Structure 1
Amino acid sequence: MLQFADLKTQGQALLEQYETLWGRLDSVESRERLNEIEAQLAKPGAWDKPELLTPVLREKSSLEFKLSMYAALRQSKIDVDDWLVLAQEDQSQDALEALAENLSALQNRLDETELSILLNGPDDNSPAILEIHPGAGGVDAQDWAEMLLRMYLRWAESRGFQVDELDRLYGDEAGIKSVTLQISGPYAYGLLKGEAGIHRLIRISPFDSSGRRHTAFASIDVYPDIDTNIEIEVREEDLRIDVFRASGPGGQHVNRTNSAIRITHLPSGIVVQCQNEKSQLKNKISAMKVLKARLYEREIKELEASKKADYATKDAIAFGSQIRTYTLQPYRLVKDHRSNWEDSGVDAVLDGRLDEFLRATLLCAHSARKTGNA
C-alpha cells in the first residue's frame, strides 16, 4: 500500500534534481536561435536552393525537439507540485496512485533531458549508419549478427525512428554475413555511437547437435550520416565500381539484372556495397552515401588519434576485445564492460530494451572526458 510520506520524500528528491538540472538547460539560447532560423527561412529567396538548407533544417528540428522536451519536463514538474498538494489533502489510494504515476513521469523526463545534455557533439543529431559484421564463431556468429540486427530494429521501432536497410548479405546456412542500416531520428547517431565495438554472445548453440556451449562474436560500426554539402573529396579516379547481381536467402529475391553496386575507395581501401534497390542508380547513390560517411568518420578518427578508445584501431572480432557480453548459459546476464552496467533481463535487451545501456555508455564516456582519460 502506498504511503504519502514515502511519496513525498521521493517527490522532494526529484524536485531538487529538477532544480539542479533546469539551471543547466539552454532554453533561452535555444529559443533565440530557433527564432533566428525561422526568420532566416522566412526571407525572400531563402528556399531557392533547398539542398543547401539541410544543416539549417536539421538544426531547426533539433532545437524544436529540445524545446518540446524542456516544455514536457516543466509540465511534469508542475503536475508533481499539484499532486503533492492534492495527495496531502486527500490521502486516498487513488490520489496516491496518481501521485506515484506523476513522480514516475517526472523521473523519466529528468532522465531523458539529462541524457540529451550529453549529446552535444557536432554530429550527434545526425542520422546513423550502422553496420553489423559477424566475427569468430562460424554459423553461430552469423546467427548472432542477425540477432543483433533484430535488437537494433526493435530499439529503433520503440523510439519511432525510421530505418532504411541499405545492404544485406545472407549467411550460407543461417544468419547474415553483413548488413548496413540507415537509422533516422532525434540524436540517432549520438545515441548509437557508443554501440561501436565487439559484441559477444555465450549460449548453447542451436547448430551443435551435442548441445555444447559456444561463444560467438559480431562487430558494430556506427557512422554519422553527414550532410551532403559537407566537403568530402571523392575523386572518380580513386574509385573502382563493380556491378553484380544481387543475392538473397535460399536463391530467393535474386535480381534478374546487374543492379547491385560495390564501390572500392582505392586510397583508403574502404569497400561499400548496396543491393537492396532494383535500380542500379539508387544503389550507387546509397553506396556513395555510406562511403562518404565512412570517409568522414575516418577523418574524425585521424583528428582524434590520441584517444585511447579510437575505434579505427579496434582489435580482431574475437576473445578479449568485446565491449559487451550477452550470456544465455550457464546464467543469464548482459554486461557492458566499459560502464559495468548489467541487466539480467536478456530477452528484453535482445528485444530492443537498450536505453539504459546507451545512457550508461554516454555517462561513462562523459566522465572519462572530464577526467582526461579518453
Structure 2
Amino acid sequence: MLDKLEAVLHRYEDLGMELADPNVAADPARLRDLMKEQKSLTPLIEKYLEYKKVKETIDDSMMLLEEEEDQEMRQLLTDEMNAANEKLPDLEQELKILLLPANPDDDKNVIIEIRAGVGGDEAALFAADLCRMYSKYAEHCGFKTSMISVEEIGIGGMKSVSFIVEGAGAYAKLKYESGVHRVQRVPATESGGRIHTSTATVAVMPEVDEDVDIEIPPEDVRMDITRASGNGGQGVNTTDSAVRLTHLPTGIVIYSQTERSQLQNKAKAWALLKSKLYDLKIREQHDSEAELRRSQIGTGDRSEKIRTYNFPQGRVTDHRIKLTLHRIEEILNGDLDELIDSLTTADRAARLLKAGDN
C-alpha cells in the first residue's frame, strides 16, 4: 500500500509542475484534464500526508524516549506516541478505501427513469411519490433537476417519468437506487381498508459526457416530431415540439415533451438515448463479470427487489443490506442520507474484502 501511495504522491507533484507550465495553460482541454485529475487525487494525498505525519510523530517520540531521562518529559512523549498509535489504524483503513478504484461515472450527472409496475393506479401514485422523493433529495444535495418526459394519470400518479439530476457526484449518490421498489399501504381508492402491495422500477443512468465513446449511426434512429400531450404548462399543446426517438437495433423508444422548444426536447431525448445505450453496455459487461456483480450492492440488476416502503408499520427496509428505518415519512420527503451512506459503506466493505482476498 505504501508503494502505491508514494507513486500517487509523485504523480500529484508532477501534476502541480505541469499545471504551472505556460504551455499547458494555453491548452484548455489539457488544462481541464490535469485539473480534474489533480482534484480527484487531492483527498487521497491529504489523507496520506496526515498518515505520514502521524508515523513521523511515532518515530520521533520513540527516538526521543531513548535519550530522555526526565520522567515528566518521558510521560509527555509516551502520551503523544500513544495518541498517534491510536489514530494509525483508522488512517490506514481510510487510505485503503481511498485507494479503491473509483467508478469513472461517479462524478457525472444522472438520468433517472421511474416506471409504475404492478398495482395499477396505486403503482402510478407510488411512482409519483418516488419522483418527488428523489427531487427533494437532489434539492437537499444542491443538485438541479429538469424533466425529460412524464406520462401522468388523472389522479396525480405517473405511469412513467424521466428526469436529469445535475451536480458533481450525482451518480455516486444515486447509483444504488436502481431496482424494484415496493410499497405496502391502503390506497386512497380502497374502501375496505385492505393493504395493497404495488411496485415501481427505478433506473439510474450516468449522463454520457463527450469523452465517452457512444456512436449512434443516424440510420439506426428514427425521429418523429409530434404535438406534446398532457400537463406541461401553457402553450405546450399548441406546437409540434415533442420528440420521439426510436433506436431500431434495440427497440428503445425515447419521448421528450417537457420543453416548448423542439430543439431542447431533441437535445434531452438524445441525451437519454445515449445514456440508455451506455447503461446497456455497462450492464452487459457486469453480466459477463459475475464476480464484479457479486461484489457490488445492487447497481446492475433492474429486476432485483431492493426496497420496501411499509406504511402500516412506518418502516423502510433495504433488502440488500438488511437495514430497516422507521422514518418512512422523512425518507419519502427526501431524507435519504442514512440509506445512501449505509449502502456506500456496505459496497466499500465488500470491495475491500474482495481486494483482500485477491
Q: TM-score range by the shorter chain?
A: 0.7 to 0.9
Tell me the secondary structure at the aligned position of residue 288 of structure 2. Answer: coil
Residues 179, 301 of structure 2: 8 Å contact kept: no
d(CA) in 1 for partners of 2:188, 2:11 = 52
**Residue of structure 2 aligned with 1:192, choices 155, 167, 174:** 174
- The count of corresponding residues between Structure 1 and Structure 2 is 306
Which residue pairs with 1:276 in the alignment? 258
CA deviation after TM superposition for structure 1 residue 155, in Å: 0.9
Q: Do structure 1's residue 265 and structure 2's residue 247 form an aligned pair?
A: yes
**Residue of structure 2 aligned with 1:328, choices 311, 321, 324:** 311
More divergent stretch after superposition (282-291 vs 36-45): 36-45
Structure 1 unmatched runs, 5+? 1-22, 75-111, 316-320
d(CA) in 2 for partners of 1:355, 1:117 = 24
Go from structure 1 to structure 2 and tell me whether the alpha carbon gap of 1:227 and 1:176 turns closer, same or farther (over 3 Å shift). same
CA deviation after TM superposition for structure 1 residue 282, in Å: 1.5
Residues 203, 302 of structure 2: 8 Å contact kept: no
Tell me the secondary structure at the aligned position of residue 286 of structure 1. Answer: helix
**Residue of structure 2 aligned with 1:43, choices 24, 31, 45:** 24
Percentage identity across paired residues of the two chains: 36
d(CA) in 2 for partners of 1:177, 1:274 = 15
CA deviation after TM superposition for structure 1 residue 219, in Å: 0.8
- 1:306-353 CA deviation, whole Å, 9 max, x = no partner? 3555866643xxxxx421001001x11101000111110111111111
Per the normalisation by structure 2, the TM-score is 0.73
d(CA) in 2 for partners of 1:157, 1:176 = 21
d(CA) in 1 for partners of 2:144, 2:315 = 29
Tell me the secondary structure at the aligned position of residue 24 of structure 2. Answer: coil
Residues 247, 253 of structure 2: 8 Å contact kept: yes
Go from structure 1 to structure 2 and tell me whether the alpha carbon gap of 1:250 and 1:261 turns closer, same or farther (over 3 Å shift). closer
- 1:98-146 CA deviation, whole Å, 9 max, x = no partner? xxxxxxxxxxxxxx99987778211111111111111011111111011
Go from structure 1 to structure 2 and tell me whether the alpha carbon gap of 1:26 and 1:297 turns closer, same or farther (over 3 Å shift). farther
**Residue of structure 1 aligned with 2:324, choices 323, 342, 351:** 342
- 1:174-219 CA deviation, whole Å, 9 max, x = no partner? 2112221211223211221111000111111112233321111111
CA deviation after TM superposition for structure 1 residue 38, in Å: 3.6
Per the normalisation by structure 1, the TM-score is 0.70
d(CA) in 2 for partners of 1:226, 1:36 = 31
d(CA) in 2 for partners of 1:34, 1:333 = 49
d(CA) in 1 for partners of 2:112, 2:7 = 30
Structure 2 unmatched runs, 5+? 52-93
d(CA) in 2 for partners of 1:209, 1:25 = 67
Go from structure 1 to structure 2 and tell me whether the alpha carbon gap of 1:244 and 1:54 turns closer, same or farther (over 3 Å shift). farther
More divergent stretch after superposition (167-176 vs 268-277): 167-176
Larger Rg belongs to: 2
Tell me the secondary structure at the aligned position of residue 123 of structure 1. Answer: coil
Kindly provide the amino acid, as one letter, of the partner of residue 242 in structure 2. Answer: A
What do you get for the CA RMSD once the two structures are aligned?
3.7
Kindly provide the amino acid, as one letter, of the partner of residue 159 in structure 2. Answer: K
Kindly provide the amino acid, as one letter, of the partner of residue 210 in structure 1. Answer: G
d(CA) in 2 for partners of 1:126, 1:325 = 28
Give 1:77-116 correspondences, 5 Å limit.
Answer: none
Residues 261, 275 of structure 1: 8 Å contact kept: yes
CA deviation after TM superposition for structure 1 residue 251, in Å: 9.1
Tell me the secondary structure at the aligned position of residue 262 of structure 1. Answer: strand
